[in-house]
């Protein structure tokens, strides 16, 4: 299996203007090494973010050119495995960042939260804790940031939008397939920002950030155009909407899920609307980024005998 590492400097954007670091064929399984959201600069409780971090966060490994991907296609990203490449993760408070403090986009007159760092170390039972006498967190690894290049602009690696990006959605995890729009030749796929664990919403803005080796494979679904990211697990189908205010992100996610049920699972639009009203689920991926990401989902048991859109193994 081929391994892909970032040569030289990491990219902090999703865009078509950087040279691809590798070319991957559809169906090829590759291992991609990712750095944490801080590029490994925060290593102890005394390493304050303001002293070591630059202006940008979320270094991306990529872009990776996917052979055969063309605008109007869908890129299916199958997540096989996420292996941590160190035995500790880090979380912290960053001034003017997070869900319960003043930020650049939601300013108030209150002072920012104090800087503080927590280093969670791997415990004998596999959990992570900064103080086992307080609490431990079982790992549920996922990719915080995964996406393709937008067709024109370059978007910050902190931004989730139609291309995917920094969605911080825990369902972007091993065993699931993420579907992303292709808007440039080769898709220009990038990923990073692995989380050892994260609660829904990523409340303080910083999950259990960790470096990782991520095993992925790609398929190109020709001529199938999607507007927003989709996710498929063995049990559910999901759509992700990213916007502000949060209710618009919810509307995007639910609308896209209804359209998916209508176009590919044979539902009447209004029956699909009823189904999501009675049996749909909705959760917050992040409530801290430039846009908020919400996930709408529904169980596959309501889909009858419809064929999954996921490419066969």
Q: Do 213 and 251 fall within a single domain?
A: no
* pLDDT of 308 strictly over 80: no
Label residue 310 by pLDDT band (50, 70, 90).
very low
Q: Do 252 and 208 fall within a single domain?
A: no
The pair of three-digit structure tokens given for residue 219, joined into one six-digit string: 């398929």
C-alpha span between 104 and 68 (Å, rounded): 40
Q: What would the mean pLDDT of 109-134 be, rounded to a whole number?
A: 96
pLDDT of residue 94: 93
Residue 252 structural domain: 230-302
* CATH at residue 103: 2.60.120.580
Q: Do 162 and 23 fall within a single domain?
A: yes
Q: Do 180 and 199 fall within a single domain?
A: yes
pLDDT of residue 23: 98
Label residue 181 by pLDDT band (50, 70, 90).
very high
Q: Do 205 and 234 fall within a single domain?
A: no
Residue among 106, 143, 117 nearest 244 (CA): 106
* pLDDT of 112 strictly over 50: yes
Q: Are the beta carbons of 33 and 5 closer than 8 angstroms?
A: yes
The count of other CB atoms within 10 Å of the CB of residue 131 is 10
Q: Do 123 and 87 fall within a single domain?
A: yes
Label residue 306 by pLDDT band (50, 70, 90).
very low
Q: What would the mean pLDDT of 174-195 be, rounded to a whole number?
A: 98
pLDDT of residue 110: 87
**Taking all residues of the chain, what is their mean pLDDT, rounded to a whole number?**
95
Label residue 280 by pLDDT band (50, 70, 90).
very high
In a domain? residue 312 = no
In a domain? residue 181 = yes
* pLDDT of 309 strictly over 50: no
C-alpha span between 148 and 229 (Å, rounded): 10
* pLDDT of 307 strictly over 80: no
The residue among 221, 246, 276 that closes a domain is: 221
* CATH at residue 242: 3.10.28.20
* pLDDT of 93 strictly over 90: yes
Q: Do 166 and 33 fall within a single domain?
A: yes
- Which residues have C-beta within 8 Å of that of residue 273, sequence separation ≥ 6? 258
Q: What would the mean pLDDT of 26-42 be, rounded to a whole number?
A: 97
Give how many domains the chain has, as a whole number.
2
139: number of CA atoms within 13 Å, CB side?
26
The residue among 165, 200, 221 that closes a domain is: 221
Q: Pseudo-torsion of CA 198, 201, 203, 207, nearest 10°?
A: 20
pLDDT of residue 183: 98
Does the pTM surpass 0.85? The reply is: yes
* pLDDT of 312 strictly over 70: no
């Amino acid at each position: 299996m081929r391994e892909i590492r970032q040569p030289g400097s990491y990219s902090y954007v999703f865009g078509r203007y950087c040279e691809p670091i590798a070319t991957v064929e559809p169906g090829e399984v590759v291992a991609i090494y990712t750095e944490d959201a801080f590029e490994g600069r925060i290593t102890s409780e005394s390493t304050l973010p303001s002293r070591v971090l630059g202006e940008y966060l979320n270094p991306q490994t990529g872009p990776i050119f996917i052979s055969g991907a063309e605008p109007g296609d869908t890129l299916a990203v199958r997540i096989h495995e996420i292996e941590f490449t160190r035995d500790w993760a880090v979380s912290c408070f960053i001034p003017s960042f997070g869900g319960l403090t003043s930020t650049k986009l939601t300013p108030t007159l209150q002072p920012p939260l104090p800087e503080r760092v927590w280093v969670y170390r791997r415990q004998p039972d596999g959990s992570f804790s900064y103080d086992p006498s307080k609490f431990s967190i079982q790992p549920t690894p996922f990719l915080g940031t995964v996406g393709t290049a937008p067709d024109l602009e370059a978007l910050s690696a902190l931004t989730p939008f139609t291309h995917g990006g920094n969605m911080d959605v825990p369902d972007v995890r091993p065993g699931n397939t993420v579907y992303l729009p292709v808007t440039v030749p080769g898709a220009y796929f990038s990923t990073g920002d692995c989380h050892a664990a994260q609660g829904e919403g990523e409340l303080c803005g910083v999950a259990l950030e960790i470096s990782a080796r991520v095993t992925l494979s790609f398929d190109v679904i020709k001529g199938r155009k999607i507007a927003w990211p989709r996710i498929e697990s063995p049990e559910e189908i999901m759509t992700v909407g990213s916007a502000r205010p949060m209710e618009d992100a919810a509307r995007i996610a639910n609308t896209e899920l209804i359209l998916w049920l209508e176009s590919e699972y044979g539902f009447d639009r209004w029956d699909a609307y009823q189904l999501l009203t009675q049996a749909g689920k909705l959760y917050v991926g992040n409530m801290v980024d430039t846009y908020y990401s919400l996930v709408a989902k529904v169980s596959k048991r309501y889909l009858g005998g419809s064929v999954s859109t996921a490419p066969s193994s």
